[in-house]
A and B are shown apart, each in its own frame.
Chain A
Amino acid sequence: MKQDPNIQKKVEEALNSLDGIQRAQPGPYFFTRLTARLQNDKKNVWENFGTFISRPLIAFATILVIVLLNSMAFFKNDNPVKPTIIEQNDPALNNAYDVASNTTNNTILTIWNPEDEQSIEK
Chain B
Amino acid sequence: MTVLDERILIEQLKKGDESAFRTIVEKWQDMTYNTALGIVQNAEDAEDITQEVFVQVYQSINTFKGESKFSTWLYRITIAKALDHERRKKRKKRFAIVRKLFDNTEEVIVPDFEHPGVTLDKKESSVVLFKAISQLPENQRIAFTLHKVDGLSYQEVSDVMNLSVSSVESLMHRAKNNLKKTLENYYRSSQ
Contacts and interface: CB of A to CB of B under 8 A. Distances in A.
A4 interface: yes
Contact of A26 (B50, B122, B150): B50
Interface in B108-127: 115-119, 122, 125-126
Interface residues of B, number: 39
Nearest to B181: A11
B117 A24 contact: yes
A20 B183 CA distance: 20
Interface in A1-29: 4, 7-8, 10-11, 13-27
Contacts of B129: 14-15, 17-18
Contacts of B183: 10-11, 14-15
B132 A14 contact: yes
A31 B28 CA distance: 11
Given A11-B184, A18-B148, A37-B51, A26 B30 contact: yes
Contacts of A15: 129, 176, 179-180, 183
A78 to B, nearest CB: 45
A7 B181 CA distance: 11
Given A11-B187, A24-B33, A31 B122 contact: no
A33 B117 contact: no
B47 interface: yes
B132 A24 contact: no
A33 B33 CA distance: 14
A48 to B, nearest CB: 13
Given A14-B132, A19-B122, 6 more contacts: A8-B184, A15-B183, A17-B122, A21-B118, A24-B37, A30-B29
Interface of A: 4, 7-8, 10-11, 13-27, 30-31, 33-34, 37-38, 41
Interface of B: 22, 25-26, 29-31, 33-34, 37, 46-47, 50-51, 54-55, 58, 115-119, 122, 125-126, 128-129, 132, 148-151, 176, 179-180, 183-184, 187-188, 191
In order of increasing CB-CB distance, the 3 nearest A-B pairs are: A22-B117, A17-B125, A17-B126
